[in-house]
Structure 1
Amino acid sequence: MSLLFRYLTRNNAFILLPTLGVGIGLYVLTDLFERLDNFIEAGLSAGMVLTYFVVKTPLVISQILPVIFLLSTVIQLCLMARNRELTALQAGGISLGVVANSMILCGVFWSCVQLGFSEYLGVAGERESARIWQEEVRKKNLAATVLHDVWFADGDWIVSLKTLDPKAQGTGFSGYELSEDGLGIERIVQASSFSAAPDHWVLRDVRVYTPAAFSQVVQPELILPLAQDPETFRLVSTTTKPQQLPLWQLGEAIEQLRSSGSNVESLRTAWHAKIAYAASILVMAFVATAIVSWKDNIYIAVTLALVVTFLYYAVYTLGTTLGQRGLIPPFAGAWSANIIAAAIALWRLLPLLLRRV
């Protein structure tokens, strides 16, 4: 690890951390002013309000870290240019491309930090803050939320549920077992109630119909080898966000819902968007270096960085929206902003990155 790299990364952290603190403060104050009336009407204590914002802070960090990294890197490079440090480096035979490589490595590090906050602390904080908002402010009992009219496929079974509660229990089970060729129905199973376990479902008050034999059997209980996890269906309810699941759990839910015949374009886009947003910090390293290589005046460079941030989020939002609606592939929707920003920045930086020291 060279002395120059240590110097650049240390300065980057010294600028980024205070800037991040200011960003968190502005975000929290804005959110507080927007929700203050709701907190007062709900009669929340100061401690509960504080808890709401404390548990939400990791999510806030993961959301604003890309723009904070872009601004801090632009400020750092502009200060180096104003202090003639970049000129001294170039006079010593060290091109801006070497500095850009160090900023890119910083971007890789902060991308990992963002992903960690987003998928660990951020997920837990988002769930808890959503619970406080719904239960303490909106006075909704999320534990009592019941889904209605759920359909899914599992192996040879097509299943319909009248109700499904958060405890993986419900009423109105109707299951249709398909024949081996998939063209007929071997059995029809109906039950007044059921409960789901990880590898089987227990049905109660059961009636089994066999169309080929024109027979009917009544049983007090029946166990079916269904592997479908009922919790995955909460992803398609209006109160649940895909962002409230870690990356790996969201991937598992996508596979289960896909096998059950559900449309998973929205969830696949959300899965790609999680990775793309973390990778955006690496892209911002290219963008920041490209901006300063073109104009190292701190006022112009920071203004341009803010404009780039606005355009990036506009393209990112548009792409994810189109991907969630199935108008473009999920990968293209989630990664379009990164690809466009990186392509423009590399067009400016490529000669610098290829230049030998």
Structure 2
Amino acid sequence: MNRIDRYTSWLFFGYFMGGLLIFLTLFTAVDAMSTISEYKGVSTTTIFTYYLYSFPDIISKLLPVACLLGTILTLTNLNKNNELVALFSSGMSLLRIATPVLFWVTLISLGGYFMTDRLVPRANTQKNYILYYELKKEPHRFSTVKTNKIWYRTKDAIFNIKTLSAKGDRAQGLTMYFFSDAWDLIQMITAHDVEIKGSQWLLNTGTVTLFTKDSSFPLTTDFKTKSIVMAEDSKDLQSAGQTAEMMSQGELKHFIMKNKDAGLDTIAYEVGYQSKFSFAFAGLVMSLLGLPFSVGRGRSGGTMINLGICLGLVFAYYVMYSSGITLGQHGSIPPVAAAWAPNILMTGLALVLLKRLKR
């Protein structure tokens, strides 16, 4: 890097870190006020720990916005001080001037991807544990999702499932353990597959094992079909199907393959898998799109206008991104198109605008 690149890099990091801290502080403060008012009587330590585990997910979602803000304010500052004019006069193009910024944005995007893949799933698991155990006081709603099993607890039973459809209406590999009020094991049920209709479950091809004090050995019988009525809180299992954010990329890939082998719908998981890749580069896409808007009004004191443009670009990207994800989860478009179309379209628009700018 030459002196100009180092100067541009320092400007970018100053605006990037400042924007990230401001966004993180505002988001946390507003959300914390809502949480404290909703869950009264919760200790300060619990609230602090809850948000400590929330930070990785919040930061990963704010990185693209901070990258865009840093890019726009860096070039706006250069333009306002007539430094861009000098650089243009020396034969440097806008893309060349912004090269160190785009380089750091790329590294930040890669770092954000690894944080989302490795740190966020574990942090989200701990955050949800605190949410259901300490804040909501509903521990039976907390489910632990792994690559091959989903563990779940209701008021009188513990069970695990090997595969669960994205909608939560079909499952395979069920094992249920029922307990008495004294938490003595009284019954175990296994089933090859299950149809879930709210609290009404239809089990196919399984066994029922009874544990009684009158018999030294468990009593086991087979069944082809069996209907059982679960507790009302078992309906919450249907929200456990959307688990992409709780798994790393490798775990999610294995989970998709296992569901496909079981003949279950994997569309929502596939969209989540692709979106982990595509969203990691949202900051780079936004920064490219922000370049043409960074040099037009800076000299006339249009910093606030550029900030408004920044917010508009963020809004437009997120609307397009969320729309694509929704369409993909409903099977309207392929998962790859759902996750990558916003990046491709926005990058194409950025290149067209840069070419028309002729700088």
TM superposition score normalised by structure 2: 0.75
Equivalence map 1:191-210=2 (5 Å): 191-192=207-208
Partner of 2:88, secondary structure, is: helix
* Counterpart in the other structure of 1:290: 292
Q: Does 1:145 align with 2:158?
A: no
* Counterpart in the other structure of 1:65: 63
Work out whether residues 107 and 284 of structure 1, in 8 Å CA contact, stay in contact via their aligned partners in 2.
no
* Counterpart in the other structure of 1:49: 47
Partner of 1:328, secondary structure, is: coil
* Counterpart in the other structure of 2:181: none
Work out whether residues 191 and 205 of structure 1, in 8 Å CA contact, stay in contact via their aligned partners in 2.
no
Equivalence map 1:197-236=2 (5 Å): none
* 1:321 Cα deviation after fit: 0.7
Q: Provide closer, same or farther for how the CA distance between residues 85 and 138 of structure 1 changes in structure 2, counting only shifts above 3 A.
A: same
Aligned partner letter, 2:75: L
Work out whether residues 126 and 244 of structure 1, in 8 Å CA contact, stay in contact via their aligned partners in 2.
yes
* 1:55 Cα deviation after fit: 1.4
Cα distance in 2, alignment partners of residues 249 and 267 from structure 1: 11
Equivalence map 1:122-201=2 (5 Å): 122-141=120-139, 142=142, 144-145=152-153, 161=174, 163=176, 171-175=188-192, 190-192=206-208
Structure 1 stretches of 5 or more lacking a match?
Answer: 177-187, 194-203, 210-234
Equivalence map 1:1-357=2 (5 Å): 1-40=1-40, 43-141=41-139, 142=142, 144-145=152-153, 161=174, 163=176, 171-175=188-192, 190-192=206-208, 237-239=238-240, 241-296=243-298, 297-350=302-355
* 1:97 Cα deviation after fit: 2.0
Work out whether residues 208 and 221 of structure 2, in 8 Å CA contact, stay in contact via their aligned partners in 1.
no
Partner of 1:192, secondary structure, is: strand
* 1:33 Cα deviation after fit: 2.0
Aligned partner letter, 2:346: A
Partner of 2:291, secondary structure, is: helix
Partner of 2:174, secondary structure, is: strand
* 1:238 Cα deviation after fit: 0.8
The C-alpha deviation readout for 1:126-170, integer Å capped at 9, x for no partner, is 1111111111111122265268896969xxxx96637489xxx99
Aligned partner letter, 2:189: G
Work out whether residues 150 and 160 of structure 1, in 8 Å CA contact, stay in contact via their aligned partners in 2.
yes
Structure 2 stretches of 5 or more lacking a match?
Answer: 144-151, 165-170, 179-184, 194-203, 210-217, 224-235
Residue-pair matches, total: 300
Cα distance in 2, alignment partners of residues 70 and 164 from structure 1: 52
Partner of 2:281, secondary structure, is: helix
Aligned partner letter, 1:37: S
Q: Provide closer, same or farther for how the CA distance between residues 125 and 149 of structure 1 changes in structure 2, counting only shifts above 3 A.
A: closer
Aligned partner letter, 2:7: Y
Aligned partner letter, 2:63: L
The C-alpha deviation readout for 1:15-72, integer Å capped at 9, x for no partner, is 11121111110110111122222221xx211111111111111111101110111112
Partner of 1:173, secondary structure, is: strand
Cα distance in 1, alignment partners of residues 163 and 63 from structure 2: 39
* 1:171 Cα deviation after fit: 4.1
Work out whether residues 39 and 136 of structure 2, in 8 Å CA contact, stay in contact via their aligned partners in 1.
no
Q: Provide closer, same or farther for how the CA distance between residues 298 and 263 of structure 1 changes in structure 2, counting only shifts above 3 A.
A: same
Aligned partner letter, 1:264: T
* 1:313 Cα deviation after fit: 0.7
Partner of 1:139, secondary structure, is: coil
* Counterpart in the other structure of 2:231: none
Aligned partner letter, 2:321: Y
Partner of 2:292, secondary structure, is: helix
Cα distance in 1, alignment partners of residues 289 and 177 from structure 2: 48
Cα distance in 2, alignment partners of residues 87 and 23 from structure 1: 32
Cα distance in 2, alignment partners of residues 236 and 263 from structure 1: 16
Q: Provide closer, same or farther for how the CA distance between residues 261 and 123 of structure 1 changes in structure 2, counting only shifts above 3 A.
A: same
Cα distance in 2, alignment partners of residues 76 and 88 from structure 1: 15
Cα distance in 1, alignment partners of residues 153 and 353 from structure 2: 53
Work out whether residues 189 and 206 of structure 1, in 8 Å CA contact, stay in contact via their aligned partners in 2.
no
* 1:75 Cα deviation after fit: 0.7
